[in-house]
Amino acid sequence: MNQALKIRISTRGKFFLPLLLGAVSLCLFSLLYPLVNKNISFPVAFIGLACSSICFLPITYSILFLYIYLFFDGAVKILSDYHPAFHVMQDVLLIAIFVRSVFDGENGGIRKYANTPFISLIFVFLVWIAIQYVNPFGIGILPSVAGTKVYFSGILLFAITYQHLKREDAETVFAWLTALGLAQATLAVVEYLFFQGFVFTLHPRYATIAGDRFVGDYFRPFGTTSAPGAPSMWIFLTAPVAAHLLIHGVRLFPRALALAHLLVSIPALLFCQVRAAMIITAVSVAIVILCPHQNFVKRFSLTLLISVALYVIAANTNIRMGEETHTASGAAIIAESQFQVLEKRALSLSEKGAVREARAGAFDSMLLLAEDASFGIGLSRVGAASAVWSDRIEKNAYFGKKWAFSDNLYRAMFTELGIFGMLAWLVLVLTIAVRHLKSSFRPELRESSALLWLCGTYPILLLLAGMGSEGILYNPTSSFFWLLLSMGITEANHVPAA
């Protein structure tokens, strides 16, 4: 078998084998779903099967499978009524991949991780995490251990992907992520137009989460996520990857996926009604278009394509101003009242200070906390982890639960880790991102410049978006953030032959 044929088989396998494994796992979960809440053995068996499959797969395939699980993670948690086993499933899968990597003697076993880039900065940050275990304001050792994964999981994924994803894997990985983004956008559009009440029949949790705020004219699609409008998160995470693939992809199939992604994402973002996602998507695609290392024709072509798509959707779809379009049976797809909600939400982006005012006050709170605890008040104090330990937090008469909600990356990190921990983390990630940007201008890396530009600018954009969200600490955002940082290092280390 010649080398070219081997490469083609490997490329196809990396795309379709994780998909097959994901489909099998989803079918298994569907069969076991009626029994999930009745017997602990079933979710444990599901997790065991997934981990066993990962242990026998090539590690590159296992990494791709991790992302397909993240795609279904929100729905699986809701349908299992937030069963504890599924609550930690993504972490268990990541650890399984790491264990598989450690026992991979042919590639250096555990010794290779000593060569992880920026290991000194990582070590400093992790030492500060360990110090938080004895923070006098902390809520205990067990909550500290649980809260560690918020910061450690992304770094572990960074190390694994650096060791096992090769430069030639980049297009396949980007095609895989683009396909997941396209699937989430398509589900959001179909759900909004035709199946708005369907998710509420699957599990009572959906109705509880939507409450009175996201029903009727204000409905937002769930897709396979755990929150109304959250498919937009997958869209903004994958949009710059799709734009890069469309311009710089080599194979036709990945470029076709990228084109479909960008077209379907426009109405999906409108239906999800998440303003921050609209802004991040637009800016990230603009970053790819404005990359200084590509020719004018490519920039102009993508800009023209997106402009035409926006015009066609605005002028000829089912959301025209003042009209109710109907299916063949005469049922309205989008009522005028619903359209007015969508229009008002989209137009609010142009209102001065609309997004900024919705997230105001975070830095004032940080200054207030700094007066009492400039080194932080311990792990598991903020976000999802704080809900698990709410009883312990409520018993703390001095700090209480008022710090549990932040909706701001920097307030969340400052609350738990203090000024030193927050700065140590920022120095780590900004050092990597800035290095990618500098590398994109190196003459000897000209053929890699566009990818390095993306791996440097998009993580910085996500850091800016952290002013209004702490999502970068949680999946799927965390997994995309650290993956791009890792891929940029791999690309920068490649020096073309003279």
22, 61 Cβ separation under 8 angstroms: no
Stretches in the chain below the pLDDT threshold 50 = 1-13, 32, 35-40, 315-332, 354-355, 357-358, 497-498
Q: Rounded distance, CA 377 to CA 17, Å?
A: 44
Using left for φ > 0, alpha for ψ between -120 and 50, and beta otherwise, residue 322 falls in left
- Give the pLDDT of residue 20: 57
Q: Which has the closest alpha carbon to 413: 70, 117, 132?
A: 132
Q: Where are the domains of the chain?
A: 1-115, 116-164+368-498, 170-322+331-358
* Residue 265 one-letter amino acid: S
The percent of residues in the chain predicted with pLDDT above 70, rounded, is: 67
Which tokens in the block code for residue 257?
């996926």
Which tokens in the block code for residue 317?
């779809």
Q: Rounded distance, CA 212 to CA 231, Å?
A: 20
Q: Rounded distance, CA 44 to CA 46, Å?
A: 5
Phi and psi at 332, nearest 5°, equal: -70, 135
Q: Rounded distance, CA 419 to CA 421, Å?
A: 6
- Give the pLDDT of residue 183: 92
- Give the pLDDT of residue 27: 58
> Considering all CA atoms of the chain, what is the largest pairwise distance in Å, rounded to the nearest integer?
70
Q: Rounded distance, CA 463 to CA 427, Å?
A: 12
Please report, in angstroms and rounded to a whole number, the separation of the first and last CA atoms in the chain: 29
- Give the pLDDT of residue 9: 38
CB within 8 A of 198, min separation 6: which ones? 191
* Residue 126 one-letter amino acid: L
- Give the pLDDT of residue 483: 94
The pLDDT tens digits of the residues spanning 104-127 come to 766 667 888 888 889 999 999 999
**Helical residues (DSSP H) of 211-251, grouped into ranges:** 231-248
Q: Rounded distance, CA 165 to CA 293, Å?
A: 24
**Whole-model pTM?**
0.82
Q: Which has the closest alpha carbon to 484: 449, 436, 427, 422?
A: 436
The pLDDT tens digits of the residues spanning 203-251 come to 888 888 888 787 777 788 998 888 888 899 999 999 999 998 888 877 8
Give the chain's radius of gyration (CA, Å): 23
Say whether the peptide bond before residue 476 is cis (omega within 30 degrees of 0): yes
Angle, helix 231-248 to helix 275-289, in steps of 10 degrees: 10
Number of H helices, E strands in the chain: 22, 0
- Give the pLDDT of residue 129: 92
DSSP string, 183-198: HHHHHHHHHHHH-TTH
- Give the pLDDT of residue 320: 41
